[in-house]
Structure 1
Amino acid sequence: MNYYELVILKSPQSPLTYQSDEQLEIGSKVLVSIRNRKNLCEAVVIKNVEKPSFKCNDILEITKYFYNDKMIGISTFISQYYVCSLGEALSIFTPYNKEIEYINDEINYNSNIQLSTEQQKAFDFCEEKKQALLFANTGSGKTEIYIKTIEKILNSGSNAVLLMPEISLTPQMQNRLEKVFGENVAIWHSKVSKKRKNEILEGVYTNKIKLIAGARSALFLPFKDLKLIVVDEEHDESYKSDSKPRYNAKDLSLYIAKKYDLRLILGSATASISSFHKIPYYRLKQTFYETKKRILFDDSSLELSPKIINKIASTLNNENQVIVFLPTRANFKYQICTDCGKSVECPFCSVSMSLHKNDLALKCHYCGYTQKIPETCPSCNTGVIHNLRVGTAEIEERLKELFPEKSIKRFDRDEIKTDTKLKSVLNDFNNNKIDILVGTQMLSKGHDYHNVKLAVVLGIDAVLNMNSYKSRERALSLLIQIAGRSGRKGEGEVIVQTQNQDFFEFYMNDCDYEEFLSSELEFREELYPPFLKMAKVLFAHSNGLKVKDEMDKYIKILKKIENIEVVGFGQSAIFKLANKYRYEIILRSSNIKALLTALHSIDSSMATIDMDTNF
C-alpha cells in the first residue's frame, strides 16, 4: 500500500493523507471522499509519505489529469504570498491531460509589420531586457510591438500568452491577431461559452493553439512551452482577483518570468507606479497619426451643464460621434466643496475621508480618524461640502430627452452582459449607427473608435477624492485613457467636468505622465507602496457584535507584533453586504516576512486576507 498527502481543490483545508495500492505521480489529480460531503472531491497528490499511525481512506479514482512541477511551484508561492491554502491556489490552474499528445508542427508566421524607427528601438529594448515595461502613449503602436515579439517566440516553437483586461478583448484585437496567427490563436475570458472553452483547451493540449489572448485566468492554462507573457494595460486593477486566492496576475507574471526565465512585456500608456519604479522601461511617445487634441474644463456642479450640452450638440451637428464617461455605472456619491472642488482630507494620511451618514461624520479608513461634517470647507473656508450623486442610467435618460432624434446607447456591465452584445454595440458604433455612447471604464479600454471627436468626462472628482492613497494615480490615468479615445485620427476634444482643473490641466497639458509618476513616488516614500507592503484583513459575519469583537481581538494581537503597523481599522466602506456586517484592519510594513508571518497567524473563519490590497 502507498500513502500520499493530498490537497483538496478549492478547499481551505490543510493536506490530508490517503492510501492507494497504485503508485501515483506527484501532481496527479484524483477523486476522494470526505466526511460530511455527498459528492466526491477533486484532490491533487503533493507528497509520498510513510504509513501513518491512523487509518487512511482510499483514493477512489485516478483521473487522466495532472499538475506539473511548475504549476505546483507557482501555487506554493501563491499560497504563501496571498495567504490561502495550496488547494485554493492550485484550483486556479487548468491541469495537463496525460492522454493527449502534443503536436510538434512547425509553422512560420509572417506578420508583414514594418516597425517605425522608434518602435524598432522599443522592440530591441524589450528583447534585450528580458522583463521590460513598454511605456507607450495611446496611438504609438504598442500592439505592433507585441505582435512582432509574439511572432518571433512562436516561430521558435514556443508558446505565448497575451493578457488583457477582459473588456479590452475586443473583436478588433481578435481580428488583428487572427490575421497573423490564424487558427493558432484563441481568445479566453469569462464570457466565452463552456463548449468553446473545451475546444480551446483541446487546442492547447495538442499545441494546435500556440497563443492565447485572454483575461487573467489565461495565465494558468497548460501550455506546452510558455516563453513569453505580455500584459497589456498593465496598470489596470482588474488584474487583481477579488475572490480567493486574491492574486494579482500582473505581479504573478513578473514572479513567473523571473523564476522560470521567461520573456515579459508590460505595456501601458499610463504605467502603474510600481512597474515604473521596479522595471526597466522604454518610453514610446511618437504616435502614428497626427492628432490635435483640445482639453476643455467645466467647473459646473450640474451633471450636464449648458457648456457640455452645447459641445455635444455641435459635435453631432458635424456628424461626428460622442462618448460620455462616468467612473462607475451605479450612482456614486462623493463629497466635494461647491466652491473649490476639494474634498476633506485626513490630517494624518493625505487621503480623502469617507462620509458616514448615520454618524453625521467623516472618517478616514486608514487611521480611523473621525470628525463631524464641517459646515464650511476647510480648504477655502467659504464653500459648503455637498453630497453628489450621478449614474449612467440617469445620463442616458437626460441625453435622450435633449437629443430625441439621435441614437444613444449605454456601455457598461449592466448593459453589456455577453460577448455577442459587446461585438454588436461596438460594430454599430463603428458603423455610425450610434451617435452617443454613455459608459463606464469599459469605454477607456483600447477600443479604436474612428469617428469620435468629443469625449465628455463626468465625475472624475469622485475618483480624485476617493479615500485611497492611489486616488491621484487612478484619476489621472483614467482621464488620459478616456482622452485617448477621442480624435484618434485628426482633431478631437475632451471636456472634463472638474473643480480640480489645476491638477488635471498641469499633467494633461503642461507635463508628462512620467513626471507625474516621479512626483508621486516622492509623495509615497516611507508611507505607501511601492516602498512598503500593505494588506487588508476583512472580517464579515451576520452578527455585528460578534464580528466587531473578532476584529478588536486581532487588533490587540497585531499591535504587539514587531515590524508591522496597524494603520487603520473600523467599519468597511460598505458596512453591510449580503446581510453580513464588515470590519477591516489595514496593515503595512517594510518587512515582507514579518507581514506575511502576521497574516498567516490569523486563524478566524470570519477573516479574509487581501495582500497588496487595491485599497
Structure 2
Amino acid sequence: MIYFYEIAVLGSNLQPLTYQSTQNIPIGDIVNIKLRNKIKQGVVISTVQKPDFECLEITEITNLFLSKQMLQLGYFISSYYVSHLGISLSLFTPFDKNIEYHQPIQMIDDKIELSNSQENAYSFIKENKLALLFANTGSGKTEIYIKLIKDALEKGEQALLMMPEISLTPQMQKRLKAVFGDSVALWHSKISKIKKDKILQGLLSGEIKIIAGARSSLFLPFSNLGVIIVDEEHDDSYKSDQSPKYNAKDLAIFVGRTFDKTVVLGSATPSIGSYYKIPYIRLQETYFDTQKEFIFDESKLSINELILNKISNALTHNHQIIVFLPTRANFKYQICDTCAKAVECPYCSVSMSLHKNLKALKCHYCGYTQEIPEHCPSCKIGLIKNYRLGTAEVVQILEEKFSDKVIKRFDRDEITTETKLKTVLNEFNDGKIDILVGTQMLSKGHDYHNVKLAIVLGIDSVLSMNSYRARENALSLLLQIAGRSGRKGFGEVIIQTQNKEFFSNYMLQDDYETFLKDELEFRKELYPPFMKLAKVTFAHTNHNIAYKQMEYNIETLMKNQDIQVIGFGEEGVFKVANKYRYKIMLRSKSPKALLNALYHINSNCASIDMDTI
C-alpha cells in the first residue's frame, strides 16, 4: 500500500509538499526527502489522498519527531507571526525515539524560608496560573522561583526558567545547582554543540529536569513541562529579529493557556503590556537595607571631573564601580573634520564603529570590516575625528587616570564565549576587577555586592530613540543599572543626562508603578497594550523595486477600514547588507483585522513583524 503525506520542509519558505511512502508514518515524524536533487529534512504534518500528479518517495524516516504540542505551537507561530510553517517548525529541537524518557518524582530539601511578603507572592502565584511578579531589585524573587520549581519536580514535572541570554550567569546556575544538583542545565547560544547534545540527552532521559535558558529554550523537547518562569520579562531580547519574528514571552503565555501550565513573569520594571493585562503582585520589601543617592550631571556625554572625583573616592574606600554606556566599541561615529560626513558601511546606510583592538572599522549591522582610512572617503582630504564615547574609549580614559587599577570591558565585543562571561563575572565578584565598563549586559540580574558607585552615560540616546517605547526603555534600563549599586548599604548613582526632570520624577520616588500608570494614559487609543502594531519591511538590492512594492501595498492597505496606516517610508537604517529597505507601519484594535491585512500583502520581498517593538 502507498501512503501520501504533506511534508513541511524545515527551514524553507515553500508551502508543504506531497511525498509518498510504502510505510505508515506518524504525524510529527521527521523524514528526509529529495528536493531539487538535494536531501532535505521535513516534518510529516498530515496524510492526504493520492494527488493527480506524480510524487517522489520519502527517502528516509529518521528517529526524530515533533510532539503534538510542538506542532500546535508551530502552527500558531506560523499563523500569528505570518511565517511559513517550515520556518516555524525549524525552531524546535526534536525528540529522539531511541531515548526512553523517565521522569521520577524528586523530593527536595530546599531549606529556603520565605519572608511574609515572599510567602504572599508565592501564594498569589499558586492561585493564578498566569501571574506577574512585580518585584523590586533585591526583594528575593529567585527564592520564589526555586519554590515553584521544587513544586513542579515533586509532581514529576519539568521546569523552564527563561532569562535574557546575557543574564544566564554562573551566579544563577550556582544558586539552582545548590538546591537541585545535576538536575539543572543552562541553555544558550554560547554553549558548544557537544555540550548541547549532552544536555538534550539528559533532558530526554529525565536526568535533567530544569532548563535555565534563553528564548530558544522554549523549543526544547520537554515531555512533561509543569512551570515556565520568564525572568526579566520586560527585556526586548525575548523578541526575535529573524523570521519568524516571535516573542518568546508571549509564546510562553500561549503555552500556559493552551496546555494548562503555570507561567510566571518576573521583573523589577515590568513591561506595560504585562502590567496592564496580567494579574500581578508587588514585592517591594528587600533583603538588605539599602540607601541610594542619585546625582544628576547635566553636562554632555563625557568622563568629566565630577565623575573622575567620584570614581577616585570610591576606589579610595576599596569599593567597586560600574560604568554604563549604550554604545559598544570605541566610538559610535567617525566624522570627517572637513565635510562632516561619517564613514559609512558600503552595504548599509549606517556609520561604522571603530574597533581599536582590530585596528579596523566595523559595521554592527552586516559585520563588514575595513581598515581605518587615513583620509575621509567622501571628500578625500579631511581627517576622521571621533564622535561619541564607546566602552573601549571609556576604558582607555580610565586606565590613563587610574593606571594602578584593574579595569575591564563587559560588552558583546569582549564577552564572546561562556568562558569569558564566567571569568569576568567571577573576577569582579572576587574583587579582582575595580571598574567594569559595559553596555546593557551590566543591567542583567547580576549581584555585585561591593559596588557602591554606578555611572550611567548616554541614557539620553535611549530616551530619544524613534520609538513609542523610548521612555519605558530608558527608565527601565536606568532603574536596572541603578539597582546594581548599593545592593548592601549605601550606594551612589551618577546619571549624565539633559533630561533630569523626566528621570528624577520617578527615580527619586523609586516608584516605577507610577510611571506605568502615567504611560498607560499616554498610550490610550494610540499604542499597545490598547492597539496592535505591525511593520512590513520591503527589502531589495534594487532601490526602485523595494519602493514600488511599498507603494503598491500602501494603496491596497489604505482601502481597509479596519486598520490604520500610521506611517511609511525609508527604514531608520535605509540600507542593510546591500539591500534598500522601506517600511509600512500598521495599527488596529483588532488582531484579526490586522492579521487579515498582513496576509494580503502582495510582495516577494516583504518581511512581516507582528507586534513590532
| 1:552 CA drift (Å) | 1.1
How many equivalent pairs are there?
A: 563
Residue of structure 2 equivalent to 1:503 = 502
| 1:59 CA drift (Å) | 0.4
Deviation digits for residues 335-368 of structure 1, max 9, x if unmatched?
Answer: xxxxxxxxxxxxxxxxxxxx999xxxxxxxxxxx
- Aligned mates of 2:596, 2:16 — CA distance in 1: 20
| 1:281 CA drift (Å) | 0.2
Residue identity matched to 1:80:
S
Residue of structure 1 equivalent to 2:15 = 14
Residue of structure 2 equivalent to 1:240 = 239
| 1:511 CA drift (Å) | 5.3
Residue of structure 2 equivalent to 1:452 = 451
| 1:247 CA drift (Å) | 0.4
3-state SS in 1 of match to 2:42? strand
- Aligned mates of 2:103, 2:447 — CA distance in 1: 36
Residue of structure 2 equivalent to 1:63 = 62
- Aligned mates of 1:526, 1:145 — CA distance in 2: 36
Residue of structure 2 equivalent to 1:426 = 425
Residue of structure 2 equivalent to 1:351 = none
- Aligned mates of 2:478, 2:83 — CA distance in 1: 36
Structure 1 segment 536-555 matched on structure 2, within 5 A: 536-555=535-554
The answer to whether residue 267 in structure 2 is matched with residue 268 in structure 1 is yes
Residue of structure 1 equivalent to 2:416 = 417
TM-score (norm 1): 0.90
| 1:437 CA drift (Å) | 0.6
- Aligned mates of 2:409, 2:38 — CA distance in 1: 43
| 1:510 CA drift (Å) | 2.5
Does the C-alpha gap of structure 1 residues 356 and 144 become closer, same or farther in structure 2, counting only changes over 3 Å?
closer
- Aligned mates of 1:241, 1:356 — CA distance in 2: 21
Greater Cα shift, 158-167 or 299-308: 299-308
Residue identity matched to 1:520:
E
- Aligned mates of 1:510, 1:487 — CA distance in 2: 17
- Aligned mates of 2:64, 2:423 — CA distance in 1: 38
| 1:246 CA drift (Å) | 0.7
Residue identity matched to 1:54:
F
Residue of structure 2 equivalent to 1:81 = 80
3-state SS in 2 of match to 1:521? helix
Residue of structure 2 equivalent to 1:173 = 172
| 1:594 CA drift (Å) | 1.3
Does the C-alpha gap of structure 1 residues 356 and 237 become closer, same or farther in structure 2, counting only changes over 3 Å?
closer
Residue of structure 2 equivalent to 1:256 = 255
Residue of structure 2 equivalent to 1:230 = 229
3-state SS in 1 of match to 2:38? coil
- Aligned mates of 1:107, 1:589 — CA distance in 2: 48
Residue of structure 2 equivalent to 1:465 = 464
TM-score (norm 2): 0.90
Contact 1:153 1:160 (C-alpha < 8 Å) held by counterparts: yes
- Aligned mates of 1:390, 1:313 — CA distance in 2: 20
- Aligned mates of 1:15, 1:104 — CA distance in 2: 35
Greater Cα shift, 418-427 or 297-306: 297-306
3-state SS in 1 of match to 2:503? helix
3-state SS in 1 of match to 2:257? helix
Structure 1 segment 294-333 matched on structure 2, within 5 A: 294-330=293-329, 331-332=331-332
- Aligned mates of 2:327, 2:120 — CA distance in 1: 38
Contact 2:301 2:458 (C-alpha < 8 Å) held by counterparts: no
Could you list the structure 1 runs, at least 4 aligned residues long, displaced by more than 3 angstroms after superposition: 330-333
- Aligned mates of 2:490, 2:242 — CA distance in 1: 42
Contact 2:103 2:157 (C-alpha < 8 Å) held by counterparts: no
| 1:541 CA drift (Å) | 1.2
Residue of structure 2 equivalent to 1:481 = 480
Residue of structure 1 equivalent to 2:368 = none
Greater Cα shift, 241-250 or 105-114: 105-114
Residue identity matched to 1:159:
Q
Residue of structure 1 equivalent to 2:35 = 34
| 1:15 CA drift (Å) | 0.8
Residue of structure 2 equivalent to 1:533 = 532
| 1:332 CA drift (Å) | 4.4
Residue identity matched to 2:493:
V
- Aligned mates of 2:328, 2:484 — CA distance in 1: 19
- Aligned mates of 2:562, 2:301 — CA distance in 1: 48
Residue of structure 1 equivalent to 2:345 = none
Residue identity matched to 2:101:
Y
| 1:389 CA drift (Å) | 2.2
3-state SS in 2 of match to 1:417? coil
- Aligned mates of 2:332, 2:516 — CA distance in 1: 27
| 1:105 CA drift (Å) | 2.7
Q: RMSD in angstroms over aligned alpha carbons?
A: 1.5
- Aligned mates of 2:575, 2:34 — CA distance in 1: 36
- Aligned mates of 2:238, 2:104 — CA distance in 1: 33
Residue of structure 1 equivalent to 2:218 = 219
Residue of structure 2 equivalent to 1:159 = 158
Residue of structure 1 equivalent to 2:148 = 149
| 1:580 CA drift (Å) | 1.2
Contact 2:132 2:264 (C-alpha < 8 Å) held by counterparts: yes
Contact 2:301 2:389 (C-alpha < 8 Å) held by counterparts: no
Greater Cα shift, 597-606 or 234-243: 597-606
Residue of structure 1 equivalent to 2:120 = 121
Residue of structure 1 equivalent to 2:370 = none
Contact 1:207 1:223 (C-alpha < 8 Å) held by counterparts: no
3-state SS in 2 of match to 1:43? strand
3-state SS in 1 of match to 2:112? coil
- Aligned mates of 2:32, 2:521 — CA distance in 1: 53
Residue identity matched to 1:18:
Y
Contact 1:321 1:451 (C-alpha < 8 Å) held by counterparts: yes
| 1:543 CA drift (Å) | 1.2
Greater Cα shift, 601-610 or 255-264: 601-610
Residue identity matched to 1:390:
L
The answer to whether residue 598 in structure 2 is matched with residue 602 in structure 1 is no
| 1:53 CA drift (Å) | 0.5
- Aligned mates of 1:413, 1:444 — CA distance in 2: 13
Contact 2:409 2:437 (C-alpha < 8 Å) held by counterparts: yes
- Aligned mates of 2:103, 2:190 — CA distance in 1: 30
Does the C-alpha gap of structure 1 residues 302 and 562 become closer, same or farther in structure 2, counting only changes over 3 Å?
closer
- Aligned mates of 1:264, 1:399 — CA distance in 2: 44
Residue identity matched to 1:13:
L
| 1:551 CA drift (Å) | 1.2
Deviation digits for residues 462-505 of structure 1, max 9, x if unmatched?
Answer: 11111111010000000000000001111110000011111111
Contact 1:207 1:224 (C-alpha < 8 Å) held by counterparts: no
Residue identity matched to 2:18:
T
Deviation digits for residues 19-44 of structure 1, max 9, x if unmatched?
Answer: 00000111110000112xx5310001
- Aligned mates of 2:38, 2:316 — CA distance in 1: 63
Query: Percent of aligned positions with the same letter in both sequences?
Result: 57
Contact 1:231 1:267 (C-alpha < 8 Å) held by counterparts: yes
The answer to whether residue 287 in structure 2 is matched with residue 288 in structure 1 is yes
Contact 2:350 2:573 (C-alpha < 8 Å) held by counterparts: no
Contact 1:10 1:87 (C-alpha < 8 Å) held by counterparts: yes
- Aligned mates of 1:128, 1:462 — CA distance in 2: 41
| 1:122 CA drift (Å) | 0.3
3-state SS in 1 of match to 2:35? coil
| 1:455 CA drift (Å) | 0.2
3-state SS in 1 of match to 2:485? coil
Does the C-alpha gap of structure 1 residues 595 and 20 become closer, same or farther in structure 2, counting only changes over 3 Å?
same
3-state SS in 2 of match to 1:247? coil
Could you list the runs of 5+ residues in structure 1 that have no partner in the other structure? 334-354, 358-386
Structure 1 segment 33-52 matched on structure 2, within 5 A: 33-35=34-36, 38-52=37-51
- Aligned mates of 2:168, 2:43 — CA distance in 1: 32
Contact 1:6 1:18 (C-alpha < 8 Å) held by counterparts: yes
3-state SS in 2 of match to 1:251? helix
Does the C-alpha gap of structure 1 residues 28 and 356 become closer, same or farther in structure 2, counting only changes over 3 Å?
closer
- Aligned mates of 1:164, 1:500 — CA distance in 2: 31
- Aligned mates of 1:270, 1:235 — CA distance in 2: 7
- Aligned mates of 1:407, 1:435 — CA distance in 2: 5
| 1:413 CA drift (Å) | 0.0
| 1:98 CA drift (Å) | 1.4
Residue of structure 2 equivalent to 1:514 = 513
Residue identity matched to 1:410:
R
Residue identity matched to 1:115:
L
3-state SS in 2 of match to 1:40? strand
Residue identity matched to 2:505:
F
| 1:302 CA drift (Å) | 4.1
| 1:603 CA drift (Å) | 3.5
3-state SS in 2 of match to 1:57? coil
- Aligned mates of 2:611, 2:460 — CA distance in 1: 25
| 1:576 CA drift (Å) | 1.2
